[in-house]
Amino acid sequence: MPTPSPSPSTPSSLLGDLLALYGVQAMNFAVPLLTLPYLTRTLGPAAWGALVFAEAFARYTAMLVEYGFQLSATRDIARNRHDPAQRAAHIGGVLGGQLLLAAAALCAIPPLLLWGSPFQGRGPLLWTALAWGLALAASPLWYFQGMGRMKVMAGLDITAKIIAAAGLFLLVHHPGDEGRAVALQAGMAILSTLSGFLLVARETSLPRPSAAAGWAALRAGFSMFLFRSAVSLYTTANVLILGLFAAPAAVGIFGAAERLIRAAMATFAPLNQTFFPRISYLMQHDPAAARRTTRASALLMLALGLSLGIFLAAAAPWIVAILLGPRYEAAIPILRILALLAPLVAVSNVLGIQWMLPLGLERDFNVILLAAGLLNIVCACALAPRFGGLGMACSVVAAEAAVTLGILICLRRRGLNPLAPPRTWEQAAA
């Protein structure tokens, strides 16, 4: 079987991956812009709130089952991209670990959520959202990222999103059709994931998943799982937390504003997904180049974050009127508060994901994220019952600010801040 020999460290391959990922993120931004006005107006705040809650549940399930492999497995594949045997071993471990987690999700999550939750009495919507989450978790995106060949997976993702967007206009016509919207997106996620694994199988042997390999992969990726879990406490979980205190309509209004923010900040993902494996590679072979690359990424992302934040805060009334409709005016102040996330996330992504993880500072990073996640839960429980979506928005911004501040303090104490003069950061990293 021929083995590809990518050269992910070359400028041309880096640019190719970056353009491919921006194609995916352009669709992540364009699809909500096309479908959000239609869905919010067609479904209304209450049904839209149910759809948002179902999507949040799917993405939270995806986060738990994905287990952080998009970071840990990407790093492992990037380090062993020229060794077919090691690649196959990593694939087998990831598949085995995710099968164990999927089995646990199938057994444990439905009973928990059917008891006293917004899904009570809505079994089909629950199971469809669960299938959606499992399909998202199983995506082999990590393999193509590590191999430096994101154009392949980008094409699949773009095609799936176009078909899903068209299907939403064809199948969703009234309040109560939110189940169709969830089913359509679940189906396309399943198709995209299966197609991705067919492409993986053409160039790398797919070993039979085993419990032993799965447990080993879960142990090896536990720090990344803690990272993803901690992040979810102040990102993916926000809609779920608010749903415990507020009516579906309030959840829908907050969810609409948060979706606009997340769609805008999806423009950060290509930079993260391109620079993370590159910096991981350089950290092993040329630490000085890794630092220079991190500084370049920081300049790009901070400029992008500030631009996004200012635009979203200034244009909030027009954005809400055009994209959400007249029944969502309450989303304007929420959107303005959430706009503060853009520059904060830009800084924390560069210094946290792109720099601390390749340095092997997972433990410090996880402590910072877990503390911020707990802060978000405490603030949300105090603010959401009284202030609804506004309180939830303030809680999220406070948590993200805590993450950024914690990362800066940690790196300064260790002498490893890539944005500061070099000094002895190479010796500290060693």
Q: How far is CA 130 from the centre of its chain?
A: 17
Q: Tens digit of pLDDT for each residue in 308-326? A: 999 999 999 999 999 898 8
pLDDT score, position 429: 46
Burial (CB count <10 Å: 0-12, 13-18, 19+), residue 79: middle
Domain boundaries, the chain: 1-220, 221-430
Query: Is pLDDT of 114 > 70?
Result: no
DSSP three-state, residue 209: coil
Residue 1 has pLDDT above 50, yes or no: no
Q: What are phi and psi of 202, to 5 degrees?
A: -75, -20
Q: Which residue has the higher pLDDT, 93 or 315?
A: 315
What is the rounded average pLDDT for all residues in the chain? 82
Whose CA is closest to 362, among 232, 236, 234, 221?
A: 221
Rounded to two decimals, the pTM is: 0.73
| Residue 359, phi then psi, degrees to nearest 5 | -75, -10
What is the distance between the alpha carbons of residues 398 and 32, in angstroms, rounded to a whole number? 26
What confidence score (pLDDT) does residue 23 get?
A: 65
What is the per-residue pLDDT across 224-272, written as a single tens digit (0 to 9) for each?
Answer: 787 677 777 777 788 888 888 888 888 889 999 998 898 888 778 777 7
Convert 285-324 to b/e letters by CB count within 10 Å (16 or more is b).
eebeebbebbeebbeebbebbeebbeebeeebeebbeebb
